[in-house]
Structure 1
Amino acid sequence: MFASLFVLLYVGHLLADYPFQTDHQAAHKAGCGREGWTANLTHAATHVATCATALTIGAVALNDVTLSVPVAFGALAWIGATHAFIDRRWPVAAWMRIARQAGWAANGGAAHVDQTAHIAALAVAALCLSV
């Protein structure tokens, strides 16, 4: 069941991060003040909604997916919170500084570290959902 849940969450993530993310959210989600936080939290809410939809479809369509509603709510809260945190951008920048990846950061590596962090958070959610 873990693999099915992970794929469902990953598809939800890809939808929320690419076709469903507005240009405004992408440009401002790490910004300070009300505009930045609104863009960030709206984008994180999009992740929660797309992942919830993917999980619901999976629970209906797939024989191996059974969900506990309270655990699903917890997993979705985790996805929203971790996505909002990672997308503030300073956590990725701090990681790359600590890991001595300044050269890679200057050449587009931050996007890869960002996606890796999101995927790791999705894996944790899928693990929790599959227990």
Structure 2
Amino acid sequence: MFAELFALLYVAHLAADYPLQTDHQAAHKADSSAAGWRANLVHAGTHVAACGVALALAAVVLDQSAGMWPSIAALAWIGGTHAVIDRRWPIRWWMENTGQEEFIKHGGAAHVDQAAHVIALAVAALWMAA
């Protein structure tokens, strides 16, 4: 069940991070303002909605359901971690404190950001499969 859930959550993540994310959200989701927080939370909400659809599809099409409460907990985890990661400072902090300053200069933050999101999705899928 882990593999199916993880794959569907990852597809939902890609959809929410790319075709479903507006230019405004991408540009402002890390801003320290009310508009920045709105952009961030709406974007995180898009992830929750997309992943909710993925979990519903898993239950209906694949007969792979983790149950209501584990799914709700996983969706809360996905939305919360996505919102925090997309504030950008956690990724910058990580990279500056693990010897990746040069990687930051060469566009590495986007890769570390995506790795953090994928790790969060794997944790959610493991939780639901357990």
TM-score bucket (shorter structure): over 0.9
Give the gaps of 5 or more residues in structure 2.
none
- Give matches, 1:38-57, under 5 Å: 38-57=38-57
- Give matches, 1:1-131, under 5 Å: 1-63=1-63, 65-131=64-130
Aligned-partner residue type, residue 112 of structure 1: H
Compute the TM-score of the two structures, normalised by the length of structure 1.
0.98
Work out the CA distance in 1 between the residues paired with 2:20 and 2:65: 27
Work out the CA distance in 1 between the residues paired with 2:71 and 2:98: 33
Work out the CA distance in 2 between the residues paired with 1:66 and 1:77: 17
Tell me the percent identity. 59
Per-residue CA distance 1:105-129 (angstroms, 9 max, x = gap): 0101000000000000000000011
Q: Following TM superposition, by how much is the alpha carbon of 1:36 offset from its aligned partner in structure 2, in angstroms? A: 0.4
SS at match of 2:31: coil
Work out the CA distance in 2 between the residues paired with 1:114 and 1:66: 28
Segments of 4+ in structure 1 off by > 4 A?
Answer: none
Give the gaps of 5 or more residues in structure 1.
none
Aligned length: 130
Q: Is the CA contact 2:81–2:120 (under 8 Å) kept in the aligned structure 1?
A: yes
SS at match of 1:21: coil
Aligned-partner residue type, residue 96 of structure 1: M
